[in-house]
Amino acid sequence: MKIIAGGVAKSEVADALRPLLGDGDTVTIGTDMDAAVQLQSGAVDFYLGTCHTGAGASLGVLVGFLGSQRTHTFGRSLPSQEQIDAAVEAGNVAFGFSIDQVQDIVPMLWRALEARQGA
């Protein structure tokens, strides 16, 4: 699985993901524009974007490029594993959340993404 981490807390997201990755999985740090192009071309599988609110700025460009049906923001709420699973199962490839929730959301999101890839 190939993931791009972007937004205000992109380094923190990448750092939280690295210990969870399996063989062949990668996380790179990039911009939302990098992610839009690479997601459209199939060069990467997912984008995890962060901003202060977890809403607009974390996914603005991605919504424009991919459409709202392939993007999901968790906003300021701390989602349950079930809510994250549902967002992943719905076919979203770009996810936005707030910078103060990186340590909570990244592990749960990774579990859901890993399960989707294994399905």
Report pLDDT for 109.
97
Integer Cα distance of 44 and 41 in angstroms: 8
Eight-class DSSP state of 102:
H
**CA dist 74 → 42, 51, 66 (Å):** 24, 11, 17
pLDDT tens, per residue, the chain with 119 residues: 999 999 999 999 999 999 999 999 999 999 989 999 999 999 999 999 998 877 666 788 888 889 889 999 998 889 999 999 999 999 999 999 999 999 999 999 999 999 988 75
- Residue partners of 54: CB distance under 8 A and separation at least 6: 73, 74, 75, 76, 96, 97, 98, 99, 101
Minimal CA–CA distance to 66: which of 35, 88, 24?
A: 35
Minimal CA–CA distance to 18: which of 27, 7, 31?
A: 27
Report pLDDT for 8.
92
Query: Mind listing the pLDDT tens digit for each residue in 84-101?
Result: 999 999 999 999 999 999
**CA dist 24 → 50, 56, 108 (Å):** 24, 31, 20
Residue 95, number of CB atoms within 10 A of its CB:
27
Report pLDDT for 119.
58
With 0.85 as the threshold, say if the pTM is over it: yes
